[in-house]
Chains A and B, each alone.
Chain A
């Protein structure tokens, strides 16, 4: 009795679990990936879809077979049967099927990963520095002179809007640097984002851009991406950085090249 009940409940759970994945909604909320606005995200989405199909089918198959075998094993009263072929075939099947699947997926995923991490940023990509600190992001553009001022951590004075620790008094390239709380970028132009952590570890995550990368204190990393769609998107921190972690965000504002040029000019004045 208990076995049959288990089988029924398990079938219901397995099928019910799959419904939100297929219908993309659960409790009235949209639980699917947002629209991809990057040039590299397509490969990541494809990889995710492939994996979803393979893992989803494995999940359903395993749960349903478990339910079926439990269902049929009750009330046999001593009549035992053995699985045809025994363990040998199962082991061979697992090694071949799962091994092949793992290698295939792993190899395929290398392409998507490589687009983000192995290809260098192009030479004409727009350089922007992103700084993460407790608990806000700030972004810095080189300004008309095309040069970034040097960072002096001891000069940071957040209450006075010197978030980066610039020293305009002594450092001329720093004088025209543009600091913004919003990451404003032109659409369809590659951006070269140089990541700098001010205090502890943080992370840069934009769902729509299919980008996530840690800020590591003492290790300035860089990212490059191209956004294809004008609009406002949220940048959130995904590395636990302290009490205000939940509140650490900024907006990514993708503009047309014209609007971006205007914005940049307005900031310089």
Chain B
């Protein structure tokens, strides 16, 4: 099956500029487009977080130039409370959807999944192009919400109803901007569904000769599992967004109950349920966390094995753990809703599988650690980010152990403890995976090496900086510091402002450090040293292509044949201590 379809040539090489770089069918170009979009989104999201952090420690300070961005949202440069919440909503939405879903999954997955399994392209190249451009439309709709008269939406990335559903009575930021938010996510869901179908079909149908499922690299497995999760998760968010939009503009009442009086206006709705939105949203929302983190786990494991120069203790166990996490991710959404008013007994039911997720997560961590033992670890920027990932994954993971327990959640729910937890485990850890992937695969994607000196500088400062930002969030949470506040005026919050100052300065510093990365990316793209064919002495098929970047059909008209498991490191061979997957040679004994 796989052999036959792998020989199908989907499309010829593109000739015009537009077909080559804009409306390209080539999965590699589409992968880079996803990466570029994620880069734009992450820079925007980061600047928003800067503005928020500055506002939090100086709420009445006119931020120079901010009035230019929004005259109503920041009159005279002083940010209004609603504009803070709008920036927070846009930050969350951009980061979760357009960065954490796009970069590790859609961008790298598009580029490397077909190559790693020896295919010429994705199964449905036109679908693939459509999913990128649909994502791009979703992005444009979201950004448009910045510029509507009522201001950008402010209901948070979770858009809890009825605040998000009742319309402009609920205050500024709940007018057209919120409708655009719903529309943007609706369109994003369509794009993600198309994308994940394509990933699944590609993985199942286009593997080259000898590339059994068991011989797929971990990271391809991660993308495959992630697409299965995404297919089910976005399929739920899609109708949820449709219902939300209908409540807003169609006069329906799916999420709005009777008898609400907002701003002295009695609402005409009746019979809806706010909890329905929460269930639908989190049924998507929790798996979404794993959509962000599983590809990063895959990338990090893939790179780490290469850097350690020996196989993982059991890389299959990691794959099983990813499957386990993916499966459990559909049984735990209620842990976001312990205090939401749902039946308190169900909190215990949701708590149990949540605590169980610790088991596969711990197994993975132990395997990474156990594999590092006695390895011949090559330190470079990519492997440093992998190590940083493990550290962050552990730090963000242990705080999950608190929040998984309903009794502790009574105190910590909706505090900065939660903010620290998810930023570390899903934000920073996933981004470290993206950084590792970037430094590792850049030579393949561009034919040039990134500057190692700048890369290491970037790593050290980012690693220390992110800990300085996100660790103190946990301390704030223990003191009961409530999240989503645009200013800390409560008696018990005022004494905590010094901690917020520390976080803000750390965030400004760490954000500025990312300029080193962007400079490195651009500089190395044009001026970097020419990359050797296999700079990391890696084994998987992406390093078997005839050139870097690979030709439009990836393997120059040939079809690689796979003879080995993906990670033949620490062996004796004619190439050194490793054996490539498509090398017919048999490995000698372990040196």
Contacts and interface: CB of A to CB of B under 8 A. Distances in A.
Direct contact of A and B (CB under 8 A): yes
Contact of B257 (A27, A217, A241): A217
A9 B460 contact: yes
A199 to B, nearest CB: 4
Given A73-B373, A199-B262, A47 B407 contact: yes
B560 to A, nearest CB: 28
B402 A134 contact: no
B274 A216 contact: yes
A87 B496 CA distance: 45
A77 B373 CA distance: 14
Contact of A243 (B154, B266, B391): B154
A93 interface: yes
> Which residue, of A3, A27, A95, A237, has the highest number of chain B Cβ atoms within 10 A?
A27
Contact of A26 (B263, B266, B499): B499
12 contacts: A2-B384, A9-B460, A31-B499, A62-B394, A63-B394, A66-B372, A69-B373, A82-B373, A158-B264, A205-B414, A211-B410, A219-B341
Contacts of A207: 411, 480, 492
Contacts of B341: 213-214, 216, 219, 221
Interface in B571-591: 577, 590-591
A217 B471 CA distance: 35
B5 interface: no
Contact of B464 (A2, A13, A81): A13
A94 B486 CA distance: 41
Interface string A26-67: 111111111000000001100110011011101100110110
A97 B272 CA distance: 45
A240 B160 contact: yes
Interface residues on B, range: 35 or more
A36 B272 CA distance: 38
A1 B384 CA distance: 12
A78 B591 CA distance: 8
Contact of A200 (B262, B273, B485, B498): B262
Contacts of A210: 410-411
A143 interface: no
A34 to B, nearest CB: 7
A93 to B, nearest CB: 7
Nearest to A52: B402
A68 B94 CA distance: 37
A87 B314 contact: yes
Interface stretch (A110-118, A178-186, A258-266): A110-118
A145 B497 CA distance: 46
The list of the 8 closest CB pairs from A to B, nearest first, reads A218-B257, A81-B374, A117-B344, A2-B379, A243-B82, A87-B314, A112-B407, A102-B355
A60 to B, nearest CB: 10
B580 to A, nearest CB: 19
A216 B341 CA distance: 7
Contacts of B344: 113, 117-118
Contact of A242 (B154, B260, B377, B570): B154
B485 A203 contact: no
A247 interface: yes
A87 B317 contact: yes
Contacts of A91: 314, 317, 363, 366-367
Interface stretch (B170-178, B202-210, B239-247): B170-178
Contacts of B339: 203, 212-214
